[in-house]
């Protein structure tokens, strides 16, 4: 890392921070590891309510959210977090086509770009590539 | 000129008295003209021709009484008293033609000694004469020339006349005369006519029938409606030799036709009451017309013997009636429903028809029949909400999918046998069909479905109690009825399949999600390990990674096994290898196995307490399967218990020691009330940990052993909430296990 070449503020600019919310602790743990290995900063929550409670504006560049979770599903969590930070980027990671389709169509999230949905299980390289693509893209929503 | 007016009795008198006869003849010779008005009959025909017409011009007038003569200067009226012998013959009311003729001839031949004039009125007063001349001229003008009358009689023609009789004696005389003088008699009468004739005129009938047997006439044919009331008389009349037929469709007019006369009355003749009006006509137009009506009726009537047989057999009416008036249909409709003894079948063409007839009272009457007389009522009606609303209080709601018993019929919610099935409203069906007791049908054609009243909507109706007709409608009803049942079954099965399909699809979706999720940690860990510099990986890090992979791999293994188990359970191929075990021992071993299992990340703070039963309890089970159940319950208990402990205890049911009950009690957050109703369903769990199949499989295993599984939340009394899961197993007693 280039910590010695940059000051703290620049460092904050350079290191993209990602918030992972997934009810599976193992998934949280391993994704955090993968992201950190690839130069991202990552925090994790396996309880969506706790994640929302601790969410502050401008603290993350990207939210990586599971969809099917107890207490609050990924879409609702996204809606709530958008209220806190309207500029944050979003990416869903789900293991099920059913939830993906159901939420997109029935729950009124069909305005969400299909590119924002990633499917579990995903290879590390693929995940990093997609995250970079989303971070580089203009906000679509 | 002499003018004479004379009845049949007086006519012969002047010719019988020699002096008068001679005077007439002489006067005629002198050029004096004579005019006679008399009643020319068969009896005096020859006399008129031979004697009167020689000296006089003669005209015929019916119904002449008395006599008088008037000339230009004189008027005379005489009353004749003839000989005793001739008087008897001529006075007789019913003088036959022959007797009359004989009397006249005798009178003409006999001399004045046999007759004498006893009384006379004479006048030569001018006014009297003018008056009588005037009267005579009027009568003359109305009389018909003798030649015409004689031709009629000689050609056998009766004078054509049509009269309405109002006098009972006259009516009776005329009827009797007609019967006796006929060579063929046809009668079409109201039912009461049988009794009327039998009581008053049957002696005359007997003569005709007697002559008929001797081949002298064509006999008597009779059409009427035979019912229970006149059945007895009908039999008597039949036995006397009258050809009797029955029809329901009588003309409103009762009539009889002989070869020369037509008689008719519009009276009902109820109970053989004598009629007060009789139309009599000798007009051939009437006779011909009613002859053809009679023959048509005769063709369409049935033999009275068959009819009497039907009545005896209790077949009340065997006919078909076309009813053009809906008001009459309504009365008959209600009558039929109210008198039903066993069964009422309805087919309604439209839902509106049902509502109209419900309002009109037919449905309430049927319900009453079902409630009070145990009449079985079945209704086929097109569905709509209004119909359902009206039927709801009558018929119990049918449970759609799934019905517990396949063929469980819909029963009325009180003790009445009323079944309803809904049919499609077919555009072609435009009649209400009612069948009562499989004996009578009423088909009511729908004329205008937009009308709100029965009378307004119904057009033509057909009543029938002909067996073939009625049973055809029963057949149509049964076919429709069964068709709906079949359709219902197919549609139920289809619904179940669809539901099953949806559940299968959902199972697959959830299973896919559950199978993919543990792959993510494995695939990512392996990815990290393979891309890292192996020398840089610490021992701890490696162990951590291996645990991560092992844990998720185990989870995958568990899930794949669970899915296989579910498949076995649902396809009913779960095989148990049962042996007898000591339950205390087996539960203890399972708990130990659970504790030792490396794949389970259990909170070490939470302790398991095990309370065995004091006695040995033997059960015959598949040990691996029961361990699987205990594993499941323990892992659930651990998953939700953050503090406190878990208690596993074994007991016997207090009643008869036939069941052992194993309970697993935790001190976690208890069962979410939302989850509770579907706790044992597949993927019911809200925890998203574990497969969500454990409880479903566990309960299925226990049930396959003949036991049961249930759960409840603990009461708050003991400080901690938590839940307890119970399962029972049948106990094997010592003797049984010996064998």
The arrangement of strands across the sheet holding B162-165 comes to: B162-165, B278-281, B262-265, B254-257, B185-188, B220-224, B243-246, B302-303
Residue B93 has pLDDT above 60, yes or no: no
How many helices (H) does chain A have, and how many strands (E)? Answer: 6, 5
Residue B406 has pLDDT above 70, yes or no: no
Interchain contact A72–B (C-beta under 8 A): no
Q: Is the pTM of this model over 0.95?
A: no
Strands of B189-242 (E only): list them. 220-224
Q: Kindly identify which residue of chain A lies nearest to residue B508, measuring between CA atoms.
A: A98
Side-chain half-sphere exposure of A3, counting CA atoms within 13 A? 2
CA distance A46 to chain B (A): 11
The number of beta carbons lying within 10 Å of the beta carbon of residue B84 is: 9
Residue A55 has pLDDT above 90, yes or no: yes
Separation of CA B567 from chain center: 54
**Three-class secondary structure assignment of B302-357:** EEHHHHHHHHHCCCCCCCEEEECCHHHHHHHHHHHHHCCCCEEEEECCCHHHHHHH
The answer to whether B101 and B46 are in contact (CB under 8 A) is: yes
Q: Kindly identify which residue of chain B lies nearest to residue A101, measuring between CA atoms.
A: B509
Task: Mean pLDDT check: name the lowest of B86-100, B580-594, B718-732.
Answer: B86-100
Contacts of B517 in chain A (CB under 8 A): 24, 27, 95, 120
Q: Give me B702's structure tokens.
A: 């226990």
Cα–Cα distance, B28 to B13 (Å, whole number): 18
Asked: is B2-155 a CATH 3.30.870 domain? The reply is yes
| Cα–Cα separations (whole angstroms), residue B629 to A17, A56, A91, B98, B581 | 45, 45, 40, 126, 16
Q: Kindly identify which residue of chain A lies nearest to residue B506, measuring between CA atoms.
A: A98
Strands of B403-507 (E only): list them. 418-423, 431-436, 440-446, 458-464
Share of chain B above pLDDT 70, in %: 87
Q: Which residue from A61, A54, A104 is spatially nearest to A80, judged by alpha carbons? A: A54
The mean per-residue pLDDT over the stretch B65-90 comes to 66
Contacts of B469 (CB under 8 A, 6+ apart): B320, B441
The architecture that CATH gives domain B579-738 is 2-Layer Sandwich (3.30)
| Cα–Cα separations (whole angstroms), residue A56 to A51, A60, A84, A141, B323 | 10, 8, 7, 20, 88
Interchain contact B603–A (C-beta under 8 A): no
Mutation for B interface: A48, A96, A123, A128, most B CBs within 10 A:
A96
Domains B2-155 and B320-465 equal at CATH topology level: yes
Q: What is the ipTM of this complex?
A: 0.87
Residue B555 has pLDDT above 60, yes or no: yes
| Cross-chain Cβ contact A70/B688 below 8 Å | yes
Cα–Cα distance, A120 to A127 (Å, whole number): 10
| Cross-chain Cβ contact A95/B523 below 8 Å | no
Cα–Cα distance, B273 to B265 (Å, whole number): 13
A5: confidence class by pLDDT, cuts 50, 70, 90: very low
Cα–Cα distance, B52 to B14 (Å, whole number): 10
B426: confidence class by pLDDT, cuts 50, 70, 90: confident
Asked: is B320-465 a CATH 3.30.870.10 domain? The reply is yes
The architecture that CATH gives domain B162-312 is 2-Layer Sandwich (3.30)
The mean per-residue pLDDT over the stretch B682-702 comes to 78
Tell me the β-bridge partners of A91. Answer: A64
Task: Look at residue B590 and give its three-state secondary structure.
Answer: helix
Share of chain B above pLDDT 90, in %: 23
Residue B395 has pLDDT above 90, yes or no: no
DSSP codes joined into one string, A77-133: HHHHHHHH-TT-EEEEEES-HHHHHIIIIITT-TTS-GGGEEESS--HHHHHHHHHH
CA distance B671 to chain A (A): 15
Residue A67 has pLDDT above 60, yes or no: yes
Q: What is the pLDDT of residue B461?
A: 92
Q: Kindly identify which residue of chain B lies nearest to residue A99, measuring between CA atoms.
A: B509
Q: Which residue from A88, A79, A37 is spatially nearest to A60, judged by alpha carbons? A: A88
Instruction: Work out how many CB contacts closer than 8 A connect A with B.
Output: 79
Domain residue spans of chain B: 2-155, 162-312, 320-465, 579-738
Q: What is the pLDDT of residue B412?
A: 43
| Cross-chain Cβ contact A29/B548 below 8 Å | yes
Interchain contact A29–B (C-beta under 8 A): yes
Cα–Cα distance, B122 to B120 (Å, whole number): 6
Contacts of B521 in chain A (CB under 8 A): 24, 26-27, 29-30
């Amino acid at each position: 890392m280039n910590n010695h070449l940059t000051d703290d503020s620049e460092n904050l600019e350079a290191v993209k921070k990602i918030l992972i919310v997934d009810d599976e602790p193992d998934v949280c743990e391993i994704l955090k590891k993968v992201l950190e290995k690839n130069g991202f900063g990552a925090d994790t929550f396996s309880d969506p309510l706790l994640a929302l409670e601790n969410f502050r504006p401008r603290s993350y560049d990207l939210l990586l959210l599971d969809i099917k979770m107890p207490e609050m599903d990924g879409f609702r969590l996204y809606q709530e977090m958008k209220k806190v930070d309207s500029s944050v980027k979003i990416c869903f990671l789900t293991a099920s086509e059913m939830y993906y389709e159901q939420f997109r169509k029935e729950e009124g999230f069909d305005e969400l770009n299909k590119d924002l949905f990633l499917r579990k299980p995903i290879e590390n390289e693929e995940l990093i590539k997609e995250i970079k693509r989303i971070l580089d893209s203009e906000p679509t929503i | 000129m002499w003018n004479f007016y004379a009845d049949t009795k007086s006519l012969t008198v002047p010719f019988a008295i020699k002096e008068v006869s001679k005077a007439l003849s002489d006067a005629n010779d002198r050029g004096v003209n004579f005019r006679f008005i008399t009643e020319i009959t068969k009896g005096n025909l020859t006399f008129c021709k031979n004697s009167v017409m020689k000296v006089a011009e003669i005209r015929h007038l019916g119904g002449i009484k008395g006599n008088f003569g008037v000339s230009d200067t004189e008027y005379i009226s005489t009353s004749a008293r003839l000989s005793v012998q001739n008087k008897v013959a001529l006075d007789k009311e019913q003088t036959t033609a022959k007797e009359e003729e004989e009397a006249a001839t005798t009178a003409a031949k006999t001399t004045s000694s046999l007759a004498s004039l006893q009384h006379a009125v004479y006048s030569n007063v001018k006014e009297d004469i003018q008056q009588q001349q005037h009267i005579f001229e009027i009568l003359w003008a109305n009389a018909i020339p003798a030649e015409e009358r004689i031709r009629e009689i000689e050609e056998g023609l009766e004078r054509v006349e049509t009269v309405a009789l109002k006098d009972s004696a006259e009516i009776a005389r005329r009827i009797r005369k007609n019967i006796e003088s006929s060579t063929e008699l046809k009668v079409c009468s109201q039912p009461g006519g049988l009794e009327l004739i039998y009581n008053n005129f049957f002696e005359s009938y007997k003569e005709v029938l007697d002559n008929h047997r001797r081949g002298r006439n064509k006999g008597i044919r009779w059409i009427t409606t035979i019912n229970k009331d006149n059945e007895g008389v009908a039999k008597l009349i039949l036995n006397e030799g009258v050809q009797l037929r029955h029809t329901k469709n009588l003309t409103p007019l009762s009539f009889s036709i002989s070869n020369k006369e037509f008689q008719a009355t519009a009276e009902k003749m109820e109970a053989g009451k004598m009629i007060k009006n009789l139309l009599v006509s000798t007009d051939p137009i009437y006779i011909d017309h009613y002859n053809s009506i009679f023959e048509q009726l005769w063709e369409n009537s049935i033999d009275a013997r068959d009819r009497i047989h039907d009545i005896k057999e209790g077949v009340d009416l065997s006919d078909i009636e076309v009813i053009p008036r809906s008001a009459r249909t309504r009365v008959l409709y209600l009558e039929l429903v109210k008198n039903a003894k066993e069964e009422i079948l309805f087919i309604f063409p439209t839902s509106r028809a049902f509502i109209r007839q419900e309002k009109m009272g037919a449905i309430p009457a049927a319900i009453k029949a079902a409630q009070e007389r145990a009449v079985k009522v079945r209704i086929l009606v097109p569905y709509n909400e209004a119909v359902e609303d009206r039927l709801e209080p009558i018929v119990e709601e049918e449970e759609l999918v799934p019905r517990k018993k396949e063929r469980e019929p819909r029963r009325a919610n009180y003790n009445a046998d009323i079944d309803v099935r809904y049919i499609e409203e077919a555009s072609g069906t435009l009649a209400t069909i009612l069948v009562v007791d499989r004996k009578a049908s009423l088909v009511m054609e729908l004329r205008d479905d937009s009308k709100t009243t029965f009378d307004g909507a119904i057009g033509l109706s057909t009543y029938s109690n002909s067996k073939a007709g009625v049973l055809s409608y029963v057949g149509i009803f049964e076919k429709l009825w069964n068709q709906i049942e079949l359709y219902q079954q197919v549609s139920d099965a289809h619904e179940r399949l669809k539901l099953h399909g949806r559940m299968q699809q959902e199972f697959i979706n959830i299973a896919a999600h559950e199978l993919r999720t543990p792959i993510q940690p494995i695939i990512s860990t392996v990815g990290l390990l393979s891309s890292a510099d192996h020398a840089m990986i610490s021992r701890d890090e490696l162990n951590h990674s291996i645990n991560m992979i092992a844990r998720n791999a185990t989870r995958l293994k568990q899930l794949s096994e669970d899915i296989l188990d579910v498949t076995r359970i649902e396809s009913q191929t779960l095989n148990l290898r049962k042996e007898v075990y000591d339950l205390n021992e087996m539960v203890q071993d399972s708990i130990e196995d659970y504790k030792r299992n490396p794949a389970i990340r259990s909170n070490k703070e939470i302790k398991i307490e095990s309370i065995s039963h004091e006695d040995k309890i033997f059960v015959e089970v598949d040990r691996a399967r029961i361990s699987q159940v205990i594993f499941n319950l323990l892992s659930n208990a651990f998953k939700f218990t953050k503090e406190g402990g878990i208690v596993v205890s074994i007991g016997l049911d207090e009643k008869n020691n036939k069941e052992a009950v194993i309970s697993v009690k935790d001190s976690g957050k208890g069962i979410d009330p939302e989850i509770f109703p579907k706790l044992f369903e597949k993927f019911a769990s809200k925890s998203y940990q574990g497969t969500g199949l454990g409880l479903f499989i566990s309960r299925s295993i226990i049930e396959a052993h003949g036991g049961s599984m249930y759960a409840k939340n603990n009461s708050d009394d003991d400080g901690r909430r938590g839940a307890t899961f119970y399962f029972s197993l049948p106990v094997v007693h010592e003797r049984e296990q010996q064998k």
